[in-house]
Amino acid sequence: MKITLIGTGNVAYHLGLRFREQDIILNQFIGKNADKTRAFSMIFQTDATTDFSKIKTDSDIYIIAVNDSAIETVAQKLSQVLDNQLVTHTSGSVPSTVLAPFFKNYGSLYPLQTFSVSSPVDFERVPIFINASSNAVSLPPQYFLDFLEQIALTLSPIVHFLPDEKRIALHVAAVFVNNFTNHLFQIGKDITDKNNLPFDVLKPLIEQTVLKIQNQEPKAVQTGPAKRGDHNTMEKHLDFLKDYPPQYLGLYKLFSESIRTIQQLKP
Amino acid sequence: MKITLIGTGNVAYHLGLRFREQDIILNQFIGKNADKTRAFSMIFQTDATTDFSKIKTDSDIYIIAVNDSAIETVAQKLSQVLDNQLVTHTSGSVPSTVLAPFFKNYGSLYPLQTFSVSSPVDFERVPIFINASSNAVSLPPQYFLDFLEQIALTLSPIVHFLPDEKRIALHVAAVFVNNFTNHLFQIGKDITDKNNLPFDVLKPLIEQTVLKIQNQEPKAVQTGPAKRGDHNTMEKHLDFLKDYPPQYLGLYKLFSESIRTIQQLKP
């Protein structure tokens, strides 16, 4: 199995590391930035180019791991040199059909995880979401999906089929539980910092918050002043937040309202 | 060391378990609900009463672990029978000074953790926040604080002094990182449920979100469309959220705005 990865960002980097670990041949990297592309060539000890005319056409799959906004541009350039090869992107928010005008066989392979260069990724626990379509008449429609599933299974044992129409739901859910949760941690740090309290004291509480939902529904383990309808405490908190960015106050109010609504309690 | 615990809720329950583990004498429980009080008597194999006239006065400390709104009522009743004993509450949002009109020696012992009867608590990792004051003229002011520290150290190795004026800051920070984070998980579950996606696929992402802040600042590891200023994706997400409770849309907008502001990028 030979793979070409397009991109030199966090996703291409971690996918590359994982494929190499699984003895998949990293046939070539294609990058935009010359320095990064050279670095990838050294790190992965393989061919890497910024020149689309030097693209190797003998890979089994081409995985576009670039910013959402660059996917179509890259696809257009790739389509000049490729023909029947399977081409996928890795985006959580772009439908796989953006590749349809350019390739006969296309799909997506979306690893649901937050990637930073500095943080190792435990791929055994990263769900991979795939879909694939084909205009090829000589092959059964399932062929490329089965093929993509084989590739996804080399990355992780958790592979799900994700049709394009559900992609956005998954991505929005991920934004809430990952990006927004991290921002709540940032707010917690800001408040403790400003009051000379160590942020570290909040970490066991954060861990317990996550542990609780391992076996119980978030709704069932909701606690706090809003859940209890403790207006006295909420008023004090809103008053306290007046010295902070106005968004904190807005978030406090909206969360309290949302918690009351979801728990189907009186506001 | 003899302790009296007032309350039969989650906090009294877990404090009781932990004190017993540490071979502290649970002298008596005082409850309001007769059934729960009887249950506590059986569970902890100790005296338990709902009758304030039967309160044992020979405990070294009385810990009021009841709802915030009931603290003063309980304190008033206790003050009829107690005199020089140290009395503390366990609240994160009520200043210890609410006890000042009732007792010579008072304070607070606030375990920063979310307690549910069904979830075991690892006290080794629960920070305990204490403060204590005394009107006693015969003892140095530090006496009761030192004494309370000894008691707190039997619960957890992590003990901090928390003056009343910082209590609210800590509690607000805890509401953000615990209560509101849990609500974000609830929203994630709601979105995945409605789209027939398993909520479990989000759990590795949630764990990674928490792992990332162990050694790095939340601000440094913020990712997502708002951080990137990816307005195209944000517009699609806002459109998607129109079919959900209006608070979700409001939260999405406010978080995105807050992330942009905190990251000191252009809105």
- Interface probe, candidates B118, B156, B192, B201, chain A, greatest A C-beta count within 10 A: B201
In chain B, which among 76-135 make CB contacts under 8 A with chain A?
93, 112-114, 116, 118-119, 121-122, 125-127
Q: Is B254 on the interface with A (CB under 8 A)?
A: yes
At residue A117, the pLDDT reads: 75
Per-residue CA distances from B141 to A146, B70, B82, B108 (Å): 74, 28, 20, 15
Structure tokens at A113: 């995880």
Contact between B160 and A201 using a beta-carbon 8 Å cutoff? yes
How big is the CA angle at A89 (ends B242 and B227), to the nearest 5 degrees?
Answer: 55
Q: What percent of chain B has pLDDT over 90?
A: 83
Chain B residue numbers with beta carbons less than 8 Å from the beta carbon of A261 are 245, 247
CA distance B185 to B175: 14
Residue B267 has pLDDT above 70, yes or no: no
Q: Is A174 on the interface with B (CB under 8 A)?
A: yes
Residues of A in contact with B189 (CB under 8 A): 217-219
pLDDT beyond 70 at B265: no
Position A88 scores a pLDDT of: 97
**Which of B46, B48, B59, B55 is closest to B1 using CA atoms?**
B59
Distance CA A29, CA A6 (A): 6
Which chain B residues have a beta carbon less than 8 Å from that of A121? 208
Q: Model-level pTM?
A: 0.88
Average pLDDT of chain B, as a whole number:
93
Q: Give the angle A251-A252-A258 at the CA atoms, nearest 5°.
A: 85
Instruction: Tell me if chain B has a CB within 8 Å of the CB of A170.
Output: yes
Question: What token pair was written down for B128?
Answer: 């305990």
State the DSSP string of chain A: -EEEEE--SHHHHHHHHHHHHTT-EEEEEE-SSHHHHHHHHHHHTS-EES-GGG--S--SEEEE-S-GGGHHHHHHHHHTT-SSSEEEE--SSS-GGGGTTT-SEEEEEEE-S---TTS---GGG--EEEEEEE--SSS-THHHHHHHHHHHHHH-S-EEE--HHHHHHHHHHHIIIIIIHHHHHHHHHHHHHHTT--GGGGHHHHHHHHHHTTTS-GGGG--SHHHHT-HHHHHHHHHHGGGS-HHHHHHHHHHHHHHHHHTT---
The pLDDT value given to residue A102: 95
Helix (H, G, I), strand (E, B) or coil at B229: coil
Residue scoring higher pLDDT (B88 or B137):
B88
For residue A63, list its beta bridge partners.
Answer: A5, A88
Q: Give the pLDDT of residue B237.
A: 96
- How many pairs of residues across A and B have Cβ atoms under 8 Å apart? 317
ipTM: 0.88
pLDDT tens per residue across span B116-131: 777 788 999 999 999 9
- Residues of A with Cβ-Cβ distance to B166 under 8 angstroms: 195-197
B3 at interface of A, judged by CB pairs closer than 8 A: no
Would you say residue B157 has pLDDT above 90?
Answer: yes
Mapped onto helix, strand or coil, the DSSP state of residue B20 is helix
Model pLDDT for residues B223-259, shown as the tens digit of each residue: 899 998 999 899 999 999 999 999 999 999 999 999 9
Check pLDDT > 90 for residue B139: no
Enumerate residues 6+ apart whose C-beta is below 8 A from A139. none
Listed residue (B223, B169, B245, B260) closest to A247, CA to CA = B260
Successive 10-residue mean pLDDT values, chain A, 267 residues: 95 96 95 97 96 95 95 96 93 93 95 82 94 82 91 96 93 97 98 96 94 92 91 94 96 96 68
CA distance B182 to A181: 9
Counting residues of chain B whose pLDDT is more than 70, the rounded percentage is: 99
Q: pLDDT tens digits, residue range A178-236? A: 999 999 999 999 999 999 999 999 999 999 999 999 989 999 999 899 998 989 899 99
Report pLDDT for A35.
Answer: 97
Q: Are B245 and B253 in contact (CB under 8 A)?
A: no
B76, containing H or E segment:
helix B71-79
Q: Which residue of B has its CA nearest to A92?
A: B233
Residue of A nearest to B223 (CA): A179
C-beta separation of B11 from B40 below 8 A? no
B247 and A240 in contact by Cβ < 8 A?
no
Helix (H, G, I), strand (E, B) or coil at B202: helix
Task: Name every chain A residue with its beta carbon within 8 A of the beta carbon of B252.
Answer: 172, 175-176
Residue of B nearest to A227 (CA): B179
Nearest to A104 by CA among A67, A132, A142, A70: A132
Instruction: Residue A214: list chain B partners with CB under 8 A.
Output: 203
B113: closest CA of chain A, how far (Å): 5
Question: Contact A127/B201, CB-based, under 8 Å?
Answer: yes
CA angle (B147, B150, B156) in 5-degree steps: 145
Shortest Cα distance, chain B CAs vs residue A263, angstroms: 10
Q: What is the C-alpha separation between A26 and A22, in angstroms, rounded?
A: 11
B229 touches chain A (CB under 8 A): no
Q: What is the pLDDT of residue B84?
A: 86
Cβ-defined contact of B183 to A223 (cutoff 8 Å)? no
The span from the CA of A134 to the CA of A163, in Å, is 14
B222 in contact with A, Cβ within 8 Å = yes
Residues B183-229 have pLDDT tens digits of: 999 999 999 999 999 999 999 999 999 999 998 999 999 989 999 89
